[in-house]
Amino acid sequence: MQNREPYMQKIIGNRYTKTKASFEKSLCLFLYQLGKKGKSLKTCLNISGLGMQFKGVKAVQNVSMNLEEGKLYALIGTNGAGKTTIINMISGVLKPTAGTICFQETDITGMRPDRIAKMGVTRTYQNLRLFKKMTVLDNVLMGAQMHSTCGAWESVFQTSRFRENEKSMREHARKMLDIMGIAAFEKEFAGSLPYGNQRKLEIARILASNPKLLLLDEPAAGMNPQESHELVDIIRGIQKEFGLTILLIEHDMKVVMNLCEYIYCMAAGEVIAEGGPEAIRNNPRVIEAYLGKRASHVTN
């Protein structure tokens, strides 16, 4: 939203000398264009020529993607296609062997994971990486404290700034738990939660850090149909409410087709197709490599 204001001022400034009617007309025109373009004014993440090689194995080759701000993207592909590896590279867990990653026009290729996270790129893990011996609330506080400027020594002297900071972080964390619908478990250990709730907790944890880009690695894996349906609703909700850009890895084609505006399809480390749900559904290479019978099932 803030990014749009300068544009507005520029246009208003230019037209200010003209008559009121023409000014209003141009404003309407501008707003119309804005509406037509939607939120696609800025690029959030740009990946080009990305490659990752583990000794002999080429896990990812020459992958390029362009994620625009405020949209929901899906990354699909068979097991071992290299989807998780891509998320690992974006979040800095792995250093790519080729190509570049730009986040909001900053080159983040090979940057330390903590710095990338502080820029607002956050992720969840396919195999869950919760802090199992910490409470649910503490897990979310780990996200909430990411941008905290309160030094360690302030906690020793219990300064008022420290106490206020801690209090507001707790409130914020509770709100996130509430959004994900697991506020009732805040005092339990993360490891003792049922599987579905652990997945939700992982999302709450990164949501608490005021992220700009979410990379969700199979967030519905292992959930029963009802839970996964709930989760889809929540993801759609938070994406709208916070205006987030989301890259979602998901196997359930119904979810992907309904939820996402743009889909990348991978096979054997390469992007073999990209486009809107319709285009992907009818793409012969996708059907051949991945969708098979399920695609026809969905279309029917």
- Binding string, 35-54, against ligand ADP, x = CB under 6 A? -------------------x
CB 263 within 8 Å of CB 274 = yes
Q: Least CB distance from residue 217 to ligand ADP, whole Å?
A: 7
Question: Rounded to an integer, what distance in angstroms lies between the CA atom of residue 87 and that of residue 184?
Answer: 31
Report the residue from 64, 126, 135, 145 that binds Mg ion according to the rule CB under 5 A. Answer: 126
Site for Mg ion in 66-105 (CB under 5 A): 84
- Output the residue with the shortest Cβ distance to Mg ion: 84
Residue 129 interacts with which of other proteins, ligand ADP, Mg ion, none, CB < 5 to 8 Å by class: other proteins
- Binding string, 208-227, against other proteins, x = CB under 8 A? -x------------------
Report the residue from 71, 83, 123, 199 that binds other proteins according to the rule CB under 8 A. Answer: 123
Query: Judged by CB, which is closer to ligand ADP: 125, or 162?
Result: 125
Query: Judged by CB, which is closer to ligand ADP: 85, or 122?
Result: 85
Residue 125 interacts with which of other proteins, Mg ion, ligand ADP, none, CB < 5 to 8 Å by class: other proteins
Q: Least CB distance from residue 178 to other proteins, whole Å?
A: 20
Binding of ligand ADP by 91 (CB under 6 A): no
Query: Judged by CB, which is closer to other proteins: 21, or 156?
Result: 156
Binding of other proteins by 185 (CB under 8 A): no
Backbone angles phi, psi at 46, to 5 degrees: -125, 125
What contacts 24+ positions apart, CB below 8 Å, involve 104-111? 104/42, 104/43, 104/44, 104/45, 104/212, 105/43
Query: Judged by CB, which is closer to other proteins: 154, or 270?
Result: 154
Binding of ligand ADP by 129 (CB under 6 A): no
Query: Judged by CB, which is closer to other proteins: 63, or 130?
Result: 130
Structure tokens at 182: 């697991």
Question: Rounded to an integer, what distance in angstroms lies between the CA atom of residue 218 and that of residue 118?
Answer: 23
Query: Judged by CB, which is closer to other proteins: 66, or 145?
Result: 145
Question: Rounded to an integer, what distance in angstroms lies between the CA atom of residue 51 and that of residue 61?
Answer: 4
User: Which residues of this chain interact with other proteins, rule CB under 8 A?
Assistant: 91-93, 112-114, 116-118, 122-123, 125, 129-134, 138, 141-143, 145-148, 150, 152, 154-156, 158, 162, 205-206, 209
